[in-house]
């Protein structure tokens, strides 16, 4: 009886690994060799027999994320997978570790500061994450993190083709709430231009009662600005400060650049170790400890912030960010439209 159970378990394990392998083979057949693809990165299957069940499951999840991204890019209006020009705005968002052949696209309000610390240590500017002063992390003259935009066109192409590339995403609306809270409510003392330069401009243009300017920028003012089809006029005025709330599509060109891994803020506890291992740096550096509960999606918070926003403005906001929802598998927030 004991041997029979062992044989049954062995059969289940073999079936499971065959399903994973079949899924990945299908994925590699679907993905074209387009612009920015790491050579061989998705055409050679890992040694599945050496994976634990958890590792195999994580590999399958990441493969499904990439498959969804490619599918939506092919069928949507979010760019072309090949022969596309990557703008300087996007190249400015991508940080480089030449020593370890890594490209990281920054998506603010998704825990990117910690990933920048990881790359700073890898590039040798500091020996450990704990040694990095907070005021140095975002100081690009001192942190030792070059941007991809600082390279020549051939060098940019070579790195996009051969380096390990990743980005982190988060529920789009929750990210906007985080950007609003951080830049206009909690942190104006350290970055006063958001409160004193950007907020008044948004208020004058988008507050329904434009004569009422007290109380600072309200979330509904912020949403009206973001959902305005003509928002680009103000975006140009605000410069690079808009990186905290523009779409992932605008920040990282996910349909033009073939990323190797897409991490999700909601599963960062699993994704961070996976990214380090896939990049080949898991023995060199660790991702900083993640405070309990900080990555959990909070629908109540989303409902609270959008409670004073009109359904029309919510719909216009979603129309702008629908690419971020669809490309990365986030559910449409239908509970906000009722």
Q: Could you read off the pLDDT of 150-172 as tens digits, one per residue?
A: 999 999 999 999 999 999 999 99
| Predicted pLDDT of residue 88 | 95
Task: Report the run of H or E that residue 166 belongs to, with start and end.
Answer: strand 164-169
- Residue 232 domain-assigned (yes or no): yes
Within 13 Å, how many C-alpha atoms sit on residue 277's CB side? 10
Which tokens go with 264?
């999700």
| Predicted pLDDT of residue 45 | 52
- Residue 85 domain-assigned (yes or no): no
List Cβ neighbours of 117 (8 Å cut-off, separation of 6 or more).
129, 132, 137, 288
Contact, 208 vs 225, CB < 8 A?
Answer: no
| Predicted pLDDT of residue 248 | 96
CA distance linking residue 39 with residue 115, whole number of Å: 24
Report residue 12: phi and psi, to 5°.
-60, -40
- Residue 308 domain-assigned (yes or no): yes
Report residue 160: phi and psi, to 5°.
-65, -30
Contact, 27 vs 63, CB < 8 A?
Answer: yes
**Distance (Å) of CA 280 to CA 118, 120, 179, 316:** 13, 16, 32, 42
CA distance linking residue 228 with residue 230, whole number of Å: 5
| Predicted pLDDT of residue 77 | 65
- Residue 88 domain-assigned (yes or no): no
3-class DSSP assignment, residue 35? coil
pLDDT digits (tens, 9 = 90+) for 14-55: 455 545 444 444 433 333 333 333 333 444 455 556 677 878
Contact, 130 vs 118, CB < 8 A?
Answer: no
Which tokens go with 164?
């390990």
- Residue 312 domain-assigned (yes or no): yes
**Distance (Å) of CA 51 to CA 17, 194, 212, 281:** 9, 48, 61, 18
| Predicted pLDDT of residue 175 | 98
- Residue 279 domain-assigned (yes or no): no
Provide the domain limits for residue 224. 173-246+302-321
List the pLDDT tens digit at each of the 338 positions of the chain.
445 544 444 555 445 554 544 444 443 333 333 333 333 344 445 555 667 787 889 999 999 999 999 999 998 765 433 435 799 999 999 999 999 999 999 999 998 999 999 999 999 888 899 999 888 888 888 888 999 999 999 999 999 999 999 999 999 999 999 999 999 998 767 788 999 899 999 999 999 887 666 788 999 999 999 999 999 999 999 999 999 999 999 999 999 999 999 999 999 999 999 999 999 999 999 999 999 899 999 999 999 999 999 999 999 999 999 999 999 999 999 999 98
- Residue 183 domain-assigned (yes or no): yes
Domain count, the chain: 1
* H helix runs in the chain, sequence order: 2-30, 53-75, 88-93, 112-122, 134-137, 153-162, 172-180, 192-193, 199-206, 219-227, 232-238, 248-252, 268-278, 299-306, 311-327
Report residue 167: phi and psi, to 5°.
-150, 165
- Residue 277 domain-assigned (yes or no): no
Contact, 314 vs 223, CB < 8 A?
Answer: yes
SS3 per-residue string spanning 173-192: HHHHHHHHHHHHHHCCCCCH
């Amino acid at each position: 009886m004991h041997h029979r159970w062992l044989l049954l378990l062995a059969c289940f394990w073999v079936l499971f690994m065959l399903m994973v392998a079949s899924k990945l083979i299908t994925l590699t057949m679907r993905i074209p060799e387009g612009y920015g693809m790491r050579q061989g990165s998705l055409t050679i299957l890992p040694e599945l027999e050496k994976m634990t069940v958890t590792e195999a499951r994580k590999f399958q999840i990441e493969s499904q994320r990439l498959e969804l991204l490619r599918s939506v890019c092919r069928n949507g209006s979010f760019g072309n997978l090949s022969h596309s020009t990557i703008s300087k705005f996007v190249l400015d968002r991508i940080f480089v570790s030449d020593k370890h052949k890594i490209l990281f696209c920054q998506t603010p309000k998704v825990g990117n500061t910690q990933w920048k610390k990881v790359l700073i240590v890898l590039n040798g500017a500091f020996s450990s994450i704990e040694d990095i002063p907070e005021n140095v992390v975002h100081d690009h003259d001192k942190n030792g993190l070059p941007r991809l935009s600082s390279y020549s066109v051939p060098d940019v192409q070579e790195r996009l083709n051969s380096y390990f590339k990743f980005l982190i995403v988060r529920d789009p609306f929750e990210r906007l709430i985080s950007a609003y809270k951080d830049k206009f409510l909690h942190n104006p003392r350290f970055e006063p231009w958001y409160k004193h330069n950007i907020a008044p401009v948004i208020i004058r243009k988008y507050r329904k009662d434009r004569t009422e300017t007290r109380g600072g920028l309200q979330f509904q003012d912020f949403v009206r600005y973001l959902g305005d089809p003509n928002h680009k006029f103000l975006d140009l005025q605000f410069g690079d400060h808009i990186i905290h709330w523009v779409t992932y599509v605008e920040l990282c060109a996910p349909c033009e650049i073939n990323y190797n891994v897409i991490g999700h803020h909601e599963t960062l506890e699993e994704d961070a170790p996976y990214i380090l291992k896939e990049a080949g740096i898991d023995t060199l550096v660790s991702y900083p400890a993640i405070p309990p509960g900080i990555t959990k999606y909070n629908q109540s918070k989303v409902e609270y912030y959008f409670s004073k926003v009109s359904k029309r403005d919510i719909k216009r906001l979603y129309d702008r960010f629908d690419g971020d929802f669809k490309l990365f598998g986030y559910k449409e927030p239908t509970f906000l439209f009722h």
